[in-house]
Amino acid sequence: MRRGGEVGFPEVTSLNALEQLIDALRCLPGVGQKSAQRMAYHLLQHDRAGAVRLSEALRAAGERVGHCDRCYTFSEAGLCEICQDEGRDARLLAVVETPADQAALERTGSYRGYYFVLQGRVSPLDGIGGREIGVSQLLERAQDGALEEVILATSFTAEGEATSHVLAQALRSRGIKATRLARGVPVGSELEYVDLGTIAHALVDRR
C-alpha cells in the first residue's frame, strides 16, 4: 500500500485521513460523531473492500446523477424513466417533496400518473416560500392540456401542510383541480393507541 509522501500522493498522516473520513460520514442525516466513528472504524478494520466500493459508488453518483428536466427527480438522463413512460396516466400529477417520497408512492403500485418533485418545502422561518420550492415550474407543468388533477402528496408536518396550502391556492386560482392526500388510521393499528389528531382527520375524511 502506498503511503503519504510517495510520488503522486500528498503528505497526509493516517490520523488526518481518518478524521476526514469521520467528518465526511457526519454529513449523513442522523449520524453524529460516535456513529461516524463506528462506521469509519468498521470500514477500515473489517471491510476495506466495502470502503473502496462505497467511495467509488459515491463518486459515480456525484458525477452522473442529476435532476430530470421535467419532474426534477434524480436521473442520469435528461428525462427520468417515469417521464419517458408514455403508458402512464397523463391526467394525474402527484406533487411530492423529495425523490424518496416519489419512490414511496411508486412502491405502493396504486399510482400510475406522473410526478413533480419540489425543490424543498415552504418554511417562512427559514425564508423559503413558493418561489424557492419551484411553484412557477409546477404551474407551468400543470397547465398542459392533458392534466386534470394535481395530487398534493406533501408530508403532514407543519411545513408540509403549509406547502400544500400554498400550492393548492396557486393551482386553484388558475382553475386547476388540486386534491390532498387523505389521512387515516394506519392499517393493522388498534384505535386506542392511535394519536388523537390522526383519529380526528380520519373522521373528517371518512367515506
pLDDT tens string 179-204: 998 888 787 887 777 788 878 877 77
**Closest to 78 (Cα-Cα) out of 97, 65, 59, 92:** 65
Report the pLDDT value the prediction gives residue 15, as an integer from 0 to 100: 58
pLDDT tens track for 11-40: 544 458 999 999 999 999 999 999 999 999
Q: For the chain, which ranges sit under pLDDT 50?
A: 1-10, 12-14
Per-residue confidence (pLDDT) for residue 156, from 0 to 100: 87
Percentage with pLDDT > 70 across the chain: 92
Record the pTM.
0.80
Angle between helix 33-46 and helix 14-25 axes, rounded to 10 deg: 120
